[in-house]
Amino acid sequence: MQVFLQTLIGGVTFGAVYALVAMGFSIVYRTMGLVNFAHGSVVMIGAYAASTFYMASKLPFAVAIIVAIAVTALIGLVIERFLRPLENKDFTLMLIGTIGFGAVLEAGAVLVWGATGHAVPSPVATGPIDVAGIRIPTYSLMVIAVAAAATGLLALFLQRTKRGAAMQAVAMDHQAATAVGIHVGRSNAMAFAIGAGLAALAGSLIGPMLYVNPTMGGTLGIKGFAAAMLGGFGSMPGAIVGGLVFGLLDSFAAGNFQEYSELVTFLVFAVIVMVRPTGIFGEATVNRA
């Protein structure tokens, strides 16, 4: 039981980060139909940016995160501008184009920060809290809280503000949105910037939990996509639930199969999506008629 709960907490912590990755991915996908395979690399850049500012300039961690978000949001705008001709077009080209961007970011990270990577000290100094024999790291609590707060803010933005509503409208029908006077390009750019910002947040949070290195984006990105797919592509609640489910799957696989956890995770994932390709809150179909 104790082991189970301990694994559960680890799973929820990683799940919260996966949910942030998946949400950033989903907001771009739903507003402009772009499957952004560079998203994982943006997460990696976010992790590097936050940890570098935090360690080199002795900024408080929160400030470092905000700087990182600003940096990656800018990168997001650049990617969006480049790939605009591909939006809502041939999927294969989008896939390759964004993978290409991912490679550029990864190579850029190697050139700037070197290939080896660095460890990030935990920004929370206090020891783990002991609840009925289960040790809950304070940093985990912070990650979960920050992720929850970000989710809440995003939901408020999408549902309560005019710009958020415009973005929802573009997601549903970009032609109709143009017809009622919404600047679709600007709305898309903003969605991309928000997506990249969420990626940076996820990257900054996961930095102290993992080793920050240029290739971390690949695995994190794929796990984020898998989470989005489990929840249902393009659905925001789906991204959250999918992220948590994937985090739990990941940590229980790690607990029971040690080094083979990745193998087990992706096999289980493949079986789940075979049974239910649309995910939990997914689009009506996968094969559009």
Partner 1 sequence: MKRLMWLVPVVVAAWLLPYGLGGYAIHVVDVAIIFAILAVGLGLTMGVAGQINLAQVAFFGVGAYTVAILTTQAGLGFWTASVLALLAAVVFGVLVGIPALRMQSHYLGIVTLGLALAFTNWVTNAHIAGRAEGISDIPVPPMFGIDLSSGYLFYYVELIVFAVALAFALLVTRSPLGRRLRAMRDDDLAAGSLGAEIPLLRMTAFVLSGLYGGLAGILYAGLIRFVAPESFNIANMFLLLAMVIIGGRSSILGCVVGAVALALVREALLDASGFAQLGYGLVVVLVVVFAPKGLAGLPEQIRSLLRGRGSGSRAQLGPFQPYDTAPRATEEDVLQIRDVTMRFKGLVALDDVSLTVPAGQIRGIVGPNGSGKTTLFNVVSGFYSPSQGSVLLRGREVTGLAPYRLAQRRVARTFQNLRLFEDLSVRENLLLGLDRTRTWWIWRYPSVPWKVLGYERALRRRVEDLIGRFGLAEVADAEPRSLPYGIQRRIELARAMAMSPTLLLLDEPAAGLNGEEVRQLAEIVRSIRDSGVTVIIIEHNMGLVMSLCDQVTVLSNGKVIADGRPAEVAVHPDVVAAYLGDSMSAPTEATAEAAAEEAAR
- What are the CA-CA distances from residue 269 to residues 7, 16, 90, 95, 283 (Å)? 19, 18, 26, 21, 18
The partner residues of 212 in beta bridges, in order of sequence, read: 118
**Backbone phi, then psi, for 87, in 5-degree steps?**
-60, 140
Piece in contact with partner 1 (CB under 8 A), picked from 7-15, 103-111, 128-136, 166-174: 103-111
In the list 62, 149, 153, 267, the residue contacting partner 1 (rule: CB under 8 A) is 267
- What are the CA-CA distances from residue 264 to residues 250, 261, 270 (Å)? 9, 5, 10
Which tokens hold the place of 58?
């002795």
Piece in contact with partner 1 (CB under 8 A), picked from 1-9, 65-73, 84-92, 130-138: 84-92
Q: Is 176 in the site for partner 1 (CB under 8 A)?
A: no
Piece in contact with partner 1 (CB under 8 A), picked from 55-63, 82-90, 151-159, 205-213: 82-90
- DSSP, collapsed to helix, strand or coil, labels residue 274 as helix
The partner residues of 155 in beta bridges, in order of sequence, read: none
In the list 6, 87, 108, 122, the residue contacting partner 1 (rule: CB under 8 A) is 108
In the list 62, 74, 78, 107, the residue contacting partner 1 (rule: CB under 8 A) is 107
CB of 200 closer than 8 Å to CB of 189: no
Q: Is 285 in the site for partner 1 (CB under 8 A)?
A: yes
In the list 74, 78, 103, 129, the residue contacting partner 1 (rule: CB under 8 A) is 103
Which residues have C-beta within 8 Å of that of residue 263, sequence separation ≥ 6?
A: 257
Q: Is 113 in the site for partner 1 (CB under 8 A)?
A: no
Q: Is 259 in the site for partner 1 (CB under 8 A)?
A: yes
Name the residues that contact partner 1, by CB under 8 A: 35, 82-83, 85-86, 90-93, 95-97, 99-108, 110-111, 115, 215, 218-219, 222, 225-226, 229, 233, 259-263, 265-267, 269-270, 273-274, 277, 284-289
